[in-house]
Each structure stands twice: as C-alpha cells, then as structure tokens.
Amino acid sequence: MPNDYSDDRLRLVARLYYLDGLGQSEVAKFAKVSQAKVSRLLALAKERGIVRITVADYDPRRRELEDQLRTRLGLATAIVIKSSEGLEGSDLRRTVGHFGAAAVDALIEPRDTVALAGGRTIHELVHHLPATRTKSLTVVQAMGTVDSSVNAFDAQEVGRVMAQRLGGSFLSLNTPAFIPEKRTRDALLELEQVRRVRETLARARVALVGLGTLANSVFVERGTLDPSMLRELERAGTVGEICGRFIDARGEECATAWRDRVMSIPIEQLRKIPHVIGVVSGSDRSAAILAAIRGRIIKALVIDELGAGALLAAPPPAEPVRPKTRKPSP
C-alpha cells in the first residue's frame, strides 16, 4: 500500500471511524477514497502510532471464590475462572484452559517431573501453556491408554504437547489402562519399560489430573467399563475417578476387581506428590472433588466459577459406611 498518505488524512479516517462511530462506507465518502481502502488506512494509522488501542486490564479469575475454596476445603491453591452465562461443553473447557494455563505454568518449576493424566479440560489447558520451551521437564504418562484409538485428549498426546511447549521429554506408559486379568497386569508391571515409568512417577513433584464420575467417565463412554463392573463399582460406593482409580466418598480406592487390573499411578503415590492439581470444568463433579480433597489426593484445583459455586454449595460428604474389604484375587 502506498505510504504517502499524510498524517492529517489518517487522523481524519481514524477520528471518523473510532471516535465518531461511522461505518467504513461513510468514512470513505468523507475521505474521498474507496471503501476497500478505509481498512488499509486504519492499519497504516496504527503503524504510524496515530491509533493506539488500549484494553483495560481484565482479571479472568474470581478471587473471592478462590479464597472461600482455600479456607473451607483446605486447598493450597484454588484457581477459579470466570465463565459467561450459558457457557458449557467445549466452550467452557476452552475458557478454563485458556485462562487457567498461566496459573498452572507458575506452579511448574524448571526440571520438574510432572505426572499427567488425559482429559478434555487438561487438553485445553496444556494447549494454552506458554511455548517457552525452557523448563527441561520430565512429563510422565500417569495412566495407560483407554483403548486402541488414541485421540487428542489422551495422556499420550497431551503429554507430548506439554513437553514441546514447556520444554523437556515425555515418558509414555505404553500399556492399556485396563487389563482383563490381574495376573497379566502384574506381569506387565515387571517389564523394564513399565518399571522405569513407575519409578519416574514416584519422583513427580507436580501432577495434573482430571476427576470423573460413574455418570461421566471416559471408561463408560469408550466401552471399557461394562455394566457388571459398573454395578460392582456402584455397590462399592464409588463417587469419583482419578487416573483410572475409582474412589469412595472418603477418598479411598474402592475395593473391586477393577482396582487389581488397572494400569495407572496408585492413589497412595498421588498422595505423596506435593502439587496434585485437579483440572475440572462443569458443576457435576462436586462429590468427586470433595472425596479427592478428603482423601488428601488433590491439593490444588482449577475450575470454572459455576463449578466452584456448586462445590461450595454442596454439603460436606457424610462419613460413609466403609465397604467390606475384598480379598485380592490370587
């Protein structure tokens, strides 16, 4: 575009458009140019510093809800993201991920080992982490793959993206998340490559995990959890799922056959990680979140404001009757 337009002419176009609120066709008549040229003149006005656009600072977080969550639930960190009315599904997950990423990035230190689960909200958050590539992390897959059709939300894919964006390496747990027989699961645990992953998970300082429920579980959605196992988990008092481990209202892993066949980081190991960050969107996970907090599994939470409101409105979980311990299968 010719650069010989005078500053005065550019000021005219900018004044009419930005201050007087005229449309581009009207501005074109005043400035005696074609309508198509108006947008180019406005771009040139920005280039020359005639137009400087400022945006008032926007805080995407609900700080008062964060304070309440920390005080009432004893969380070390609470990050509550504002959400527009009616926002749900993928749009809500994108909002939580976009605005929660910077706060999570601040919790991850250079050379950290990070245990990582999959999930749609975690996927959004990881894709919005700053692409600094300077942290030299070791990112470790915390749970095997749900099925053979690995998608963008699975830990294998999310982990690679995280290592690329923040810098570092990714260690994959190349096994199914659920093994039909305990004997086969135990044999896989003895494989050198699986032992290496488990040993690295034991050194994790940070973990990013999602929280599911029996009504909203990737294992039900993708057909891994059959109706008979679902009934067994219900009878055992399941209220939530973390990294493929189903927990009751006390935050204890449910004593079912599933527990003996899952390939993922154990609940006890999660408890030992200093910064276990639950990443959640939506208001249907309150019981699962409360159980994970009660069980000292998660220590930090990233959530949208409606989810935070539902969590604060939910009564503390009553002390459940502990199911009888099932003897491990041979």
Query: pLDDT value at position 324?
Result: 42
63-313 is classed CATH 3.90.78.10: no
How many angstroms separate the CA atoms of 207 and 119, rounded?
13
Q: Is the dihedral of CA 106, 113, 74, 96 positive or negative?
A: positive
pLDDT of residue 54: 84
For the chain of 330 residues, list the mean pLDDT of each consecutive stretch of 10. 76 92 92 91 92 87 96 95 84 94 96 94 95 95 85 90 97 91 93 94 97 86 84 94 95 93 95 97 94 96 96 70 39
Q: Domain residue spans in the chain?
A: 7-47, 63-313
Distance of CA 44 to the CA centre of its chain: 40
Cβ neighbourhood burial of 172 (10 Å; 0-12, 13-18, 19+): middle
State the pLDDT at residue 224.
82
- In this predicted structure, what is the pLDDT of residue 2? 52
Predicted pLDDT at 323: 39
Note the pLDDT of residue 316.
Answer: 63
Q: 7-47, what's its fold?
A: Arc Repressor Mutant, subunit A (1.10.10)
